[in-house]
Amino acid sequence: MTGEGWFLTAEMIELIKSGAPNIVCAQPFACLPNHIVGKGVIKELRLRYPESNIVAVDYDPGASEVNQLNRIKLMLSAAVKRMQDADKQ
């Protein structure tokens, strides 16, 4: 029994291994297992899976919508750049 937060990690690994390395980890702040575990493992996932492109976006009443959108746009920009770099090779 490890809790819901570990399911989030397993889902991200499954996505990366199945060829979908661009992940938006959208989570409500009130969900502490996802918030703590999800954010805590992202650094390790990036080390183990260098092709991964993961961004955690918190959705809570105090979160700025502009900040949320900017984080997603930055992640998408990195994804497009990686695809363009891969096409050049």
Taking only the tens place, the pLDDT of each residue in 72-88 is: 999 999 999 999 998 88
Q: Which pLDDT score is estimated for 51?
A: 94
Chain position carrying tokens 């969900």: 31
- Structural domain harbouring 53: 4-88
**pTM for the complete prediction?**
0.82
pLDDT tens digits, 20-40: 999 998 877 666 766 677 777
Rounded to 5 degrees, what are φ and ψ at 57?
-125, 120
Domain count, the chain: 1
